[in-house]
Amino acid sequence: MNEAMEEMDEKEFKYVFTMGRFDETDEMIKEKKLFMENAILLLKHVGYFRELKIIYLESFDYSLLSERMKEMIIDENEKKEEMNEKIFTDLCECYALLGEDDIFGEVLSTVVPCILKVALNKEESEETRKEVEVALLALSNVRASLFEKELYLNEIKEVIQHHQEYHNLTRLAYQSAWMFLVYRLWDDNSLEEVIVNELHFVREATKELKELTKCVNWKREKEEEDGKVERKEEVVLLRWLQILKNYFCYCELRNEEFSELLGCIVRVYLAAKENHRDVSKECILFARTAEANGNVKIDGISSVGTVDAFLWELHWKTLNNENVYNVLEYLKTISARLREKKGEDEMEEAKRKAIKMEIFEKMEEEGYEDMITSLHEAFRFFIEENIVFIYH
């Protein structure tokens, strides 16, 4: 079964794991044709591969099986001494791995502490590393749910800090720990100090991206990946890029580590742009998000070469190309910033004008001005927004 799931692409995965299939499983459990323990182990694998493939699978949330698991978590938690801890932990991980909807109330306050116990296991064995990886992957799927810091903060800090000192986690496990913590930012900005200055999220993300960039086969032809499972390193890299976007949407606290991260993103984009379009898309979205939220200093716009790098996308002239759209949005934001004068002193004003001229000359020299104009006419959104680019 694991080998079959490894080979499935997104379309095949969704075709197999439908709401009807989950309901059939629930019926088999109800009629005692399938032991719950066996069903949980199988479904944990389904959830694990769903997360590895970054597939949105909402069919589980609306199934009878989801309701059964929810009730079991509450019932088993009330038993306390009678409860089989291993089966209960598997149940909690399974529920977190498969669900797309936010977890609320009693289920949330039971599931998170239970899975964190597994994540805190520091035994040095391959089996433990795998168990911790699955636990943290399950936690990373607990997204926008509201719950108190007392339920998770000290434990997840301990997981991250222990890895920073001893490097005991797999790359996927470490990324997942960060994903779980950063997703809490949307509701609690008091976490900013811990994430930015105590745990050094940006520094750690930059380091991990640099390492992952060395591991991915960037020259792999597109045909070779059709119908195949993505390499694990590439999935982890994609997940870092996705959580970085989230981080810059909700975190206002900045430090000097950001400029190095932006430069690293540009290098990832340049490596990925031809054969790994999903990665290049995430790089552009990250830069667009960071720029829109004012995370890039004026002199950083040109120093790390984002504009030079992303202009390459404009050669892809198909109107359904999402990257072209996002590059145009990125240029729109930069254009607006370079036209602004927010109480600048003479030095800042001169710097802004110099960067504006540098970008303008680059566009003119490479012939991008006409290209942008033609694309500007083609995208109705940009006509409606009445965008004025840098060279206007």
Helix (H) / strand (E) element for 260: namely helix 258-272
pLDDT at 390: 41
Please list the rounded mean pLDDT of every run of 10 residues in the chain (392 residues): 84 94 95 93 94 90 94 85 83 94 84 96 94 97 83 96 96 97 89 93 96 89 48 92 89 77 92 91 89 68 73 68 81 76 67 75 63 55 43 38
pLDDT at 338: 74
Q: Which two tokens stand for residue 215?
A: 């591991």
Q: How far apart are CA 187 and CA 71, in angstroms?
A: 27
Amino acid identity of residue 89, one-letter, is T
Among candidates 230, 236, 229, 235, which has minimal Cα distance to 6? 229
pLDDT at 224: 52
pTM above 0.85, yes or no: yes
HEC profile of 130-193: HHHHHHHHHHHCCCCCCCCHHHCHHHHHHHHHHHHHHCCCCHHHHHHHHHHHHHHHHCCHHHHH
Amino acid identity of residue 387, one-letter, is I
pLDDT at 364: 65
